[in-house]
Structure 1
Amino acid sequence: MFKLCYRFAKTNLPVFKQYPLHPKILEILDTKGIHTATPVQDMLFTCENKVRLLIGPTGTGKTYAYLLPILGKLKQEEEEQNKILTEQNKPRAIVVVSTKELAEQVEDVSQEFTKAMKLSTIALGKGTFKREQTYLENGVDLVVTTLERLQRHRSAQSIYLSRVSHYVVDEIDTLLDASMQDDLKKLAIYFKDKNTTITYSGATYSTKVKNFIDKQYQNEIQILIEKQSHMHLENLTHDFVHCTTLDKSEPFMALYKECQSKFKGSIIIFCNEISSCHFLEFFCKKNAIKTVSLHGDLPKGMRSQNVAEFRSQQCKILITTDLGARGLDFPFVDAIINFDFPKSTSDYLHRAGRAGRAGKKGYIFSLYHNNEQAIIDELRKANEGERPIRIEESAYSKINKEDTPKQKVIKSKSQQQSKPISQKQHYVKGYKPSQKQKKQERTLSKSYFQKVHEKKV
């Protein structure tokens, strides 16, 4: 095991009253006891360019950075014209995010202000499609949505973008990782020809992000990169635990017990595959550990219910794929456990960013094998040289892209054909599958792992 942690000198930051934010927003912030802007907020509040890219560490207030000026300008337009500007099916601002859970989160943040400002907002994807159509028909000022849901509403002619004056893409690095370049390109071309304020936001400045920005905007965009981006924040401590056997059950239990004794807050456990989540769910249940899960195999309603249960801290342990690593804000999380070591430095930084939100202390524990040493070495070198971590392509698109049920079935079959089953059984020590096993039993489902542990196969 070894530890790494960066140290930075603290600087004096400006207060919100120094910026040209709407008076109602300043009043709400004051009521909430929030007075000081973060560096990423300062960068975006003072940016005058109509097209901009904001890159900053996770948990540093990027949602407030793009959201507060937008809400203020929407309200200011109504006050200047002395009338309500909300129209049927024509929102004035669009925020595109990577997941339904993140859409709900941004909606919750925006509603802290819109209710008092008499503006309307909706997150698409959390309810039925027809109900969303009704809301849009009644008129909404701000729409928060995933790309898939936005395109579906556009095809159904229940949303039009002709009046959008503010277009935001949150988690641009995640969306490009998930192979959504074509949809983002079409929207970029559409809004570039209009007098629209365009904001891209992300936690990592990957090669995909750079190529997309260069190709679509060239010199038209202002790139804002916070100096601590790609760095380990001073409030996070990273522990790496080397596993000498393929079965990680024993070191995981040791880590879990250590976290339970040290921390009062919640824990997020990350896996690389949905099948790994299923195994860990069964293992925790067998050891009387209460958990909830978040991954692509769960129905939409159950995903929302599990996230709500974790957010309310009714259950303090969340098992998830990288679907839970992008943008979600859980300020009560004390520790992260990487049960499966992330496949890229980008995925590692996103996972680590779920702990230590808003400057609080956080701890990241990672189980790893020898074949994952390359990423460990890069993290160590970056720490020792106090330089940014090199960001490579993320593994997000391979596992966590939100597919339709039909696409999931196809993907599952192709995985079975392309990967020998022996490569997938790395959690079960000394286990070798019989050649006579039925094909359907070779899928890594919860029931299959249960049979393994009950020694029925």
Structure 2
Amino acid sequence: MNTVKFSSLPLTPALLENIESLGYTQLTPIQAESLPPILDGKDVIAQAKTGSGKTACFGIGILSTLDLTNFRVQALVVCPTRELADQVCNEIRKLARFTQNIKVLALCGGTPARPQAESLGHGVHIVVGTPGRLQEHLRKRNLRLDNLKILVLDEADRMLDMGFEEAVSEVISYTPKQRQTLLFSATFADPIRELSRKFQSNPVTVSIEEGHHEDAIEQRFFQIEKNNRTNAMGYLLAYYRPESTVIFCNTKKDCHDVANGLERNGFSVQALHGDLEQKDRDQVLVRFANKSCSILVATDVAARGLDIKELQAVINFELPWDPEIYVHRIGRTGRAGNKGLALSLCTPQELPRVKAIEDYQKSSAQWDEVAPFKMTSEHQLNPPMVTLWIDGGRKDKVRPGDILGALTGEKGIAGSEVGKIDIFDNHAYVAIKRNSVDNALICLRSGKIKGRNFNVRKSQWG
């Protein structure tokens, strides 16, 4: 159990008093690991979820470096949404509430830019903003970062999900090379590590989640008769009701048959196999990754390189011959500290494959039973998101920030209702939470994106 106290850190008495007045005494695990290197001026990449205490980590780090006599921007926090930026501002203001003359400003879309520019003109110590609005103020030279000491990328994986990589890179291009850079993300997927390589210098890596462990995955085997495989799979989907599932098949034919069978019964499903053209593969992966499709049926070849966050379940429609492939399949769930579920159907003829898996993993298989079940449309799972298709993309100079701004402007929907944004050459896709789809369509159809009207509709495959 963590017993590190804030009083053990090299903080000023005023800042320590502020922290203790908020009722903070002991550090959370992420604070205990990341605050010492942050206070030491090192770059840090930290795996941290909402509610872990990460905002206090970089907030305390920022407040420890400020020169209050210099009313220039010394710290910049980049956030994916206006709501998160507001939360961060409030938290930093709370941490600084007994320290006079600290100026914290939020620069986000959905509110007029002119008053923000005026506030910048009066002098600000800390800016918290969203990528699109920060770009706008930097290009107009309202915001200058020559005196920046510390840069924070908060919920970096969410920013990449929303398509803000180019915007974030442009914002960082305005910052001094000599700076401290802190990167917080719920996952350490390859795109996040690439972001760190580009913009950080010898960062200290902090991951409270101990990474991917076999005990993070609940493995269950179900012995069935060969002619009952499809209904048994339907039973597993209906009983466990995972929000996102990859079903692995050994052949393209099974892949087609399983996907078609699930689709006939009203399930939200896509097939991923080697015969798909790149355009179709892109669409399938967009829809599954943005959670507007619940089930992906795939062959091992097609699933190479597949990295889906928060995948709740893997189902082996048929066990592979090679136990190493089995371990690779199930390793796609139970990542980044999440619990995963691996469910495998097995006929009597496949029992030697289970024995090979037991030998490989050096542990006994856990067996369970499938109840009598007939798959019908009443067992379907509605995915949490719906994909909207927009008839404009990179060639029309449409950026993720333009789409987000059109959705979240005056009388728009909350940024938290917007999911992954994917921009292609001639079109774009944006995922919207199911209960906000109608309002999102009204926003995009009645407003303008990039000063233009684009056709917008629910995706024909979403």
Q: How high is the TM-score relative to the length of structure 1? A: 0.51
The one-letter amino acid paired with 1:21 is L
| Corresponding residue pairs, total | 300
Deviation at 1:123, TM superposition (A): 1.6
Q: Is the 8 A contact 1:204 1:230 kept in 2?
A: no
Matched, 1:60 2:52: yes
> Quick one: distance in 2 between partners of 1:380 and 1:157?
45
Q: Is the 8 A contact 1:168 1:199 kept in 2?
A: yes
Q: Counterpart of 1:158 in 2: which secondary structure?
A: coil
State the partner residue of 2:310. Answer: 348
Deviation at 1:197, TM superposition (A): 2.1
Deviation at 1:14, TM superposition (A): 0.4
> Quick one: distance in 1 between partners of 2:456 and 2:46?
45
Q: Is the 8 A contact 1:50 1:198 kept in 2?
A: no
The one-letter amino acid paired with 1:70 is I
Unaligned stretches of 5+ residues in structure 2: 221-229, 245-287, 297-302, 318-325, 343-360, 362-384, 390-398, 408-420, 430-454
Deviation at 1:167, TM superposition (A): 1.4
Unaligned stretches of 5+ residues in structure 1: 1-10, 79-83, 256-268, 271-320, 326-337, 350-365, 386-395, 417-439, 450-457
Matched, 1:101 2:83: yes
State the partner residue of 2:147. Answer: 163
State the partner residue of 1:115. Answer: 97
Matched, 1:37 2:18: no
Q: Is the 8 A contact 1:93 1:166 kept in 2?
A: yes
> Quick one: distance in 1 between partners of 2:90 and 2:218?
31
Residues 441 and 37 (structure 1 numbering): CA distance in 2 closer, same or farther, change over 3 Å?
Answer: closer
The one-letter amino acid paired with 2:333 is L
Deviates most, 404-413 or 98-107: 404-413
Matched, 1:154 2:138: yes
Q: Counterpart of 1:55 in 2: which secondary structure?
A: strand
Q: Is the 8 A contact 1:55 1:229 kept in 2?
A: no
State the partner residue of 2:207. Answer: 226
State the partner residue of 1:328. Answer: none
Deviation at 1:215, TM superposition (A): 4.2
Residues 379 and 246 (structure 1 numbering): CA distance in 2 closer, same or farther, change over 3 Å?
Answer: closer
> Quick one: distance in 2 between partners of 1:441 and 1:148?
21
> Quick one: distance in 1 between partners of 2:147 and 2:94?
24
The one-letter amino acid paired with 2:3 is L
Aligned match of 2:121 in 113, 116, 137? 137
Residues 143 and 367 (structure 1 numbering): CA distance in 2 closer, same or farther, change over 3 Å?
Answer: same
Deviation at 1:163, TM superposition (A): 1.7
Residues 186 and 41 (structure 1 numbering): CA distance in 2 closer, same or farther, change over 3 Å?
Answer: same
> Quick one: distance in 2 between partners of 1:161 and 1:441?
37
The one-letter amino acid paired with 2:129 is T
State the partner residue of 1:69. Answer: 61
Residues 155 and 114 (structure 1 numbering): CA distance in 2 closer, same or farther, change over 3 Å?
Answer: same
State the partner residue of 1:199. Answer: 182
State the partner residue of 1:379. Answer: 333
Residues 238 and 63 (structure 1 numbering): CA distance in 2 closer, same or farther, change over 3 Å?
Answer: farther
> Quick one: distance in 2 between partners of 1:410 and 1:222?
30
> Quick one: distance in 2 between partners of 1:189 and 1:444?
35
Residues 402 and 192 (structure 1 numbering): CA distance in 2 closer, same or farther, change over 3 Å?
Answer: same
> Quick one: distance in 2 between partners of 1:64 and 1:71?
10
Deviation at 1:239, TM superposition (A): 12
The one-letter amino acid paired with 1:156 is K
CA-to-partner distance for each residue in 1:294-320, whole Å, 9 max, x for gaps?
A: xxxxxxxxxxxxxxxxxxxxxxxxxxx
Q: Counterpart of 1:37 in 2: which secondary structure?
A: coil
Q: Describe how 1:259-408 pairs up with structure 2 within 5 A.
A: 340=294, 347-348=309-310, 378-379=332-333, 402-405=400-403
State the partner residue of 2:449. Answer: none
Q: Counterpart of 1:94 in 2: which secondary structure?
A: strand
The one-letter amino acid paired with 1:197 is Q
Q: Is the 8 A contact 1:172 1:200 kept in 2?
A: yes
Q: Is the 8 A contact 2:45 2:206 kept in 1?
A: yes
Deviation at 1:135, TM superposition (A): 1.9
Deviation at 1:174, TM superposition (A): 2.9
Residues 229 and 380 (structure 1 numbering): CA distance in 2 closer, same or farther, change over 3 Å?
Answer: closer
CA-to-partner distance for each residue in 1:134-163, whole Å, 9 max, x for gaps?
A: 222222211101111111011222111112
State the partner residue of 1:332. Answer: none
Residues 415 and 368 (structure 1 numbering): CA distance in 2 closer, same or farther, change over 3 Å?
Answer: farther
> Quick one: distance in 1 between partners of 2:112 and 2:83?
15
Residues 20 and 377 (structure 1 numbering): CA distance in 2 closer, same or farther, change over 3 Å?
Answer: closer
CA-to-partner distance for each residue in 1:190-246, whole Å, 9 max, x for gaps?
A: 54533x2222222211212222333445xx3223222415459x9x99999xx9799
Matched, 1:91 2:73: yes
State the partner residue of 1:28. Answer: 18
Deviation at 1:36, TM superposition (A): 0.8
Identity rate of aligned residues, in percent? 19
> Quick one: distance in 2 between partners of 1:32 and 1:165?
26
Deviation at 1:73, TM superposition (A): 2.7
Q: Counterpart of 1:46 in 2: which secondary structure?
A: helix
The one-letter amino acid paired with 1:55 is A
Residues 21 and 213 (structure 1 numbering): CA distance in 2 closer, same or farther, change over 3 Å?
Answer: same
Deviation at 1:103, TM superposition (A): 0.8
Residues 97 and 380 (structure 1 numbering): CA distance in 2 closer, same or farther, change over 3 Å?
Answer: closer
Q: Which has the larger radius of gyration?
A: 2
State the partner residue of 2:270. Answer: none
The one-letter amino acid paired with 1:348 is E
Residues 411 and 199 (structure 1 numbering): CA distance in 2 closer, same or farther, change over 3 Å?
Answer: closer
The structure whose residues are more often helix, as a share, is: 1
